């Protein structure tokens, strides 16, 4: 039998075909297993993104925007790098630490490597001028308001015109709340951005009908307080602290970048999957937000003064 026909007949044997297929599958499995087991290769798939979205929703009380998801992925990748680098340094030896503890250990190691010299006054003054809005006291407003939730929009508008610049009517005086020297952020927290802007743009003493999440109110600005420019010498300590913190953060990012160069982050999902991922998280929670109210108030800077009665 010619050699060519011999090998053709051999290759047609079912047992041999089975063995060859098995070898190919074994080789592929070995290749991908080695890739997966390489600690320098980091993979993030749709399930992980969904988990990140869920964690964000729990903390913030809302679903993230697409650009916020990108930041979550970057942050997770950085933490994974810290975690694996901590393992490589043997920081997990001798105890059963949680992943977060290892990440914290790695961050502390990097923080201990940060070297900072006290900045000169010239540098601090330049930083101060570039970030003056953080230190200037903005224009503030004294204002008062009372609820008229039982009235319709037309009735509320009519009442505002009727009162004009007079004091609140006797029947509403017990419900009138007064606020002193508040930034516009407080006004926005009470009545929303559009209402707040219209209110602060109104003549001093003129009542306006505005809405909150509880219904209609009448409100008016009683006094405008001019902004107060910050003086460098008075805020120097605060400026220096902020400058040193930013400087340390920059060094930390640079060091983290050097470590991250040793790793590769593989995204096992497509960007156009993000709407479906968000939808799946939203449906699994019934669209409800369950953030802790105290945490949310702290993050939003809310206080009793921001609440409409």
**pLDDT tens figures, 235-280:** 999 999 999 999 988 888 888 888 888 888 888 888 888 888 888 8
Instruction: In whole angstroms, give the CA distance from residue 155 to residue 195.
Output: 17
pLDDT value at position 33? 46
pLDDT value at position 94? 57
Look at residue 120 and tell me if it is in a domain. Answer: no
Residue 210, beta-bridge partner list: 217
Look at residue 83 and tell me if it is in a domain. Answer: yes
* Shared domain check, 51 and 28: no
Look at residue 242 and tell me if it is in a domain. Answer: no
pLDDT value at position 129? 92
Q: What are the start-end ranges of the H helices in the chain? A: 3-11, 14-37, 46-60, 66-88, 99-112, 121-130, 153-163, 184-191, 193-201, 232-260, 274-284, 293-300
Handedness of CA 77, 81, 87, 92 (dihedral sign): negative
CATH number at residue 183: 3.10.50
Look at residue 237 and tell me if it is in a domain. Answer: no
Residue 308 in 3-state DSSP? Answer: coil
Residue 56's domain spans which residues?
42-115+251-306
* Shared domain check, 105 and 177: no
Instruction: In whole angstroms, give the CA distance from residue 198 to residue 89.
Output: 59
Residue 45, beta-bridge partner list: 268
Residue 44, beta-bridge partner list: 267
CB count in 10 Å sphere of residue 106: 23
Domain boundary among 165, 191, 225: 225
Look at residue 200 and tell me if it is in a domain. Answer: yes
pLDDT value at position 7? 46
* Shared domain check, 188 and 108: no
Low-confidence stretches of the chain (pLDDT < 70) are: 1-37, 92-99, 285-309
- Tally of domains in the chain: 3
- DSSP per residue, 274-299: HHHHHHHHHHHTTT-----HHHHHHH
* Shared domain check, 202 and 275: no
Look at residue 13 and tell me if it is in a domain. Answer: yes
* Shared domain check, 256 and 203: no
Q: Which residues touch 105 (CB under 8 Å, ≥6 apart)?
A: 86, 91, 97
Q: Which residues touch 281 (CB under 8 Å, ≥6 apart)?
A: 50, 53, 54, 57, 63
**Start-to-end Cα distance in the chain:** 100
Look at residue 260 and tell me if it is in a domain. Answer: yes
* Shared domain check, 215 and 258: no
What's 13's DSSP letter?
Answer: -
* Shared domain check, 56 and 33: no
For the entire predicted model, the pTM comes to 0.48
Domain boundary among 209, 225, 241: 225
* Shared domain check, 202 and 165: yes
* Shared domain check, 269 and 189: no
Residue 181 in 3-state DSSP? Answer: strand
* Shared domain check, 54 and 9: no
Look at residue 263 and tell me if it is in a domain. Answer: yes
Instruction: In whole angstroms, give the CA distance from residue 250 to residue 257.
Output: 10
* Shared domain check, 193 and 146: yes
* Shared domain check, 33 and 56: no
């Amino acid at each position: 039998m010619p050699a060519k026909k011999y090998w053709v007949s051999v290759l047609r044997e079912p047992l041999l075909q089975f063995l060859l297929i098995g070898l190919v599958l074994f080789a592929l499995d070995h290749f991908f297993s080695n890739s997966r087991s390489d600690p320098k290769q980091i993979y993030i798939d749709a399930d992980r993104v969904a988990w990140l979205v869920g964690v964000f929703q729990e903390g913030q009380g809302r679903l993230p925007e697409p650009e916020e998801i990108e930041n979550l992925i970057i942050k997770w990748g950085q933490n994974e790098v810290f975690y694996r680098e901590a393992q490589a340094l043997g920081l997990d030896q001798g105890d059963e630490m949680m992943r977060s503890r290892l990440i914290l250990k790695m961050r502390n190691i990097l923080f201990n490597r940060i070297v900072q010299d006290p900045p000169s006054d010239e540098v601090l003054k330049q930083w101060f001028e570039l970030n003056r809005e953080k230190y200037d006291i903005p224009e503030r407003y004294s204002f008062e308001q009372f609820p008229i939730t039982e009235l319709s929009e037309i009735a509320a508008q009519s009442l505002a015109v009727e009162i004009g610049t007079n004091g609140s009517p006797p029947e509403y005086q017990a419900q009138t709340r007064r606020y002193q020297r508040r930034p516009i952020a407080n006004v926005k927290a009470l009545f929303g951005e559009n209402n707040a802007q219209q209110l602060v743009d109104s003549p001093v003493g003129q009542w306006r009908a505005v809405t909150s999440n509880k219904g209609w109110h009448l409100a008016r600005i009683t006094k405008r307080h001019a902004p107060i420019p910050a003086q460098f010498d008075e805020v120097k300590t605060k400026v220096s602290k902020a400058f040193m913190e930013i400087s340390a953060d920059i060094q930390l990012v640079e060091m983290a970048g050097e470590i991250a160069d040793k790793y590769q982050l593989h995204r096992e999902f497509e960007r156009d999957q993000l709407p479906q991922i968000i939808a799946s998280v939203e449906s699994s929670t019934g669209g409800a937000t369950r953030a802790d109210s105290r945490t949310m108030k702290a993050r939003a800077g809310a206080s009793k003064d921001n609440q409409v009665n």
